[in-house]
Amino acid sequence: DLGAAADDLAVAAGACPGVAGALGTGLDQVWSFTPAASGTYAVSVASTDFDPTLYVLGECDTASCAAAGATTGDESLIVALESGVEYAIVVDSGSAGTAAYTLDVAVDCLPSCDGLECGDDGCGGSCGTCTGGLLCDAGTCVTCIPDCSGRNCGDDGCGGSCGTCDPGWGCESGVCAILLGDSCGNAIQVDTMPYTDTGSTVLFAHDYALDGGACGVSVGDPSPDVVYALNPGATAPYTVSLSTDFDASAYVLSDCGSPTASCEAAVVASAGTPAEVHVPLTSGVTTYIVVDGGAVSASGAYQLDVSQCVPSCGLATCGDDGCGGSCGTCDAATQICNEVLGSCVLTAGTGNSCATAQPLTLGVGSAGNLKFQGSVYDYEATDCGGATAGFNTDRQDEVWSFTPVSDATYRVTVAASGFDAELVVTADCADFATQCVGAADAFGSGGTETLDVSLRAGETYFIIVDNGTGSGNTTYTVTVSTVN
């Protein structure tokens, strides 16, 4: 209140920044303020009794005016003050009598350069400048300033990153965007036939999986997956082939909302081992091919091939047509399909199995012919100590029996004409692994296989002759003789 104040201070004209005239012609009152920290401070005075004048002096020296306000009405100053210096804040008025006022002093801005070697101090000042060609970035002198303006992924221009995208999103020109093929809704279109595409599942999200169901496999959970859409131009079987560098799968869906129930075909491929599956598709009906992980979570690079498959049966009346279909069926009650010949043969034919084995007489050669025999027995390479490379059920075999009258070593010979004969002697056709007596496959096409075996009197042994090449002439002569 200036009611009891005297006129003690005056400031010469031009002594205060921004004020041309002299100050302090009326009653005045002085307040002392010593800042604890250097910065800018807001000093204001308000009164309803008079028109105040406000000025700030350094150490109450009228010659060192830091700021002043002498406008009409209340006054408000922003003034830079140093810590530890005592300042005089003077409220002045040209009127006498009761002159109440309110004076406020508050922090406006305190500069901070802690941990900074350059750049703004927060109050319009500087924390320092960089030299030697260095640039100031966030208070640090650096050789390069990262630039992520308008970018949320990719390189920042200085070898760093502007961010990474979520699974299923890819970085395109510095902006995260949904990857083509991340779901059935934005599937990659199979637009040519045959079709080939290479890619990687690594950046994609996990959207689909199979849990048994129609295709009988459980794959893809929780692996990332890539989706292709195929709208066939013809109703036909198609071949889906997959090559990968990880344990993977590919499956064909008619409804992405129910993968397990709508699965039409599936194939599982191991790293470095391609696999394929055939699936019949209908012209104009869109189906989806999902490239996914295998039975465990996995991702990596792959190549997907899709082509229309052309069935080929030739003269075959049974067996596979090369596209997952059939060239025909045999009478299940009396026949089986000879896959090599592509024709049906009688299951009860003489020599077709151990049950119908043809008996051999010691020392007498018997003529055989595999042409019209089926493919019944599967002999593993590990049976009989690995005496042969093994044979399987896709090649013809013929069975003979021999019952010795005395314990002795007997020699079995098979002289083949135009094919590679394989020879096995066993006491039980259902258990080669423990009942095999011996096996031979020493010669190629047209050679004679010879096998010496120790046999017990009164026990029936089965001699199986198999076509090792699956082609060529199929006639031969088999003989059992004693070893001198």
Cα 274 to Cα 400: distance, rounded to the nearest angstrom: 40
Name the residue with tokens 């004409």: 417
Q: How confident is the model at residue 86 (pLDDT cuts 50, 70, 90)?
A: very high
pLDDT exceeds 60 at position 227 = yes
Phi and psi at 214, nearest 5°, equal -60, -35
Cα 211 to Cα 432: distance, rounded to the nearest angstrom: 37
What is the pLDDT at residue 45?
95
By the 10 Å C-beta count (0-12 exposed, 13-18 middle, 19+ buried), 405 is classed as: exposed
Quote the radius of gyration of the chain (alpha carbons, Å).
49
Output the CA–CA distances (angstroms, integers) from residue 124 to 40, 44, 80, 81, 331, in the order listed. Answer: 10, 21, 11, 14, 97
Cα 130 to Cα 453: distance, rounded to the nearest angstrom: 95
Q: Which of 440, 442, 450, 436 is nearest to 480 (CA)?
A: 450
What is the pLDDT at residue 472?
58
Work out the number of other CB atoms within 10 angstroms of the CB of residue 411.
Answer: 14
Q: Which of 301, 302, 292 is nearest to 219 (CA)?
A: 292
**Contact indicator for 140, 116 with CB cutoff of 8 Å:** yes
What is the pLDDT at residue 348?
55
pLDDT exceeds 90 at position 324 = no
What is the pLDDT at residue 391?
61
pLDDT exceeds 80 at position 19 = yes
pLDDT in tens, 135-184: 998 899 988 888 899 899 999 888 889 999 888 888 888 889 888 999 99
Segment 309-313 shows an average pLDDT of: 92
Q: Which of 371, 356, 355 is nearest to 419 (CA)?
A: 371
**Contact indicator for 189, 229 with CB cutoff of 8 Å:** yes
Q: Side chain identity at 405, as an amino acid letter?
A: V
Segment 109-136 shows an average pLDDT of: 91
Its sign, for the CA torsion 214, 217, 222, 227, is: negative
Name the residue with tokens 């010691």: 362
What is the pLDDT at residue 441?
83
Most confident of 10-24, 170-184, 247-261, 335-349: 247-261
Segment 311-326 shows an average pLDDT of: 89
Cα 333 to Cα 280: distance, rounded to the nearest angstrom: 29
pLDDT in tens, 341-355: 677 776 656 788 888
Cα 73 to Cα 375: distance, rounded to the nearest angstrom: 114
The full DSSP string for 7-46 is: ----B-TT-STT--S-B--SEEEEEEE--SS-EEEEEEEE
Q: How confident is the model at residue 433 (pLDDT cuts 50, 70, 90)?
A: confident
Segment 350-371 shows an average pLDDT of: 87
Strands 421-426 and 397-402: unpaired
Segment 202-229 shows an average pLDDT of: 92
Beta strands in 118-262 (DSSP E): 135-137, 140-142, 169-172, 175-178, 188-189, 195-200, 210-212, 217-219, 226-230, 236-244, 248-253
Q: Is 238 strand, coil or helix?
A: strand
pLDDT exceeds 80 at position 98 = no
Cα 459 to Cα 36: distance, rounded to the nearest angstrom: 114
The pLDDT > 70 percentage for the chain reads 94
Token pair for 439:
């096996």
In sequence order, what are the beta bridge partners of 56?
A: 67, 89
Mean pLDDT of the chain: 88
8-state DSSP, 432 = H
What is the pLDDT at residue 418?
78
Q: How confident is the model at residue 482 (pLDDT cuts 50, 70, 90)?
A: very high
Cα 185 to Cα 253: distance, rounded to the nearest angstrom: 13
pLDDT in tens, 373-425: 777 787 777 777 655 656 655 678 899 999 999 999 999 999 988 788 888 99
Q: How confident is the model at residue 247 (pLDDT cuts 50, 70, 90)?
A: very high
What is the pLDDT at residue 387?
58
Q: How confident is the model at residue 196 (pLDDT cuts 50, 70, 90)?
A: very high
Segment 294-305 shows an average pLDDT of: 91
Q: Is 78 strand, coil or helix?
A: strand
Segment 17-40 shows an average pLDDT of: 89
Residue 400 is inside which H or E element, if any? strand 397-402
How many helices (H) and strands (E) in the chain?
2, 33
Q: Which of 249, 215, 229, 219 is nearest to 182 (CA)?
A: 229
What is the pLDDT at residue 96?
52
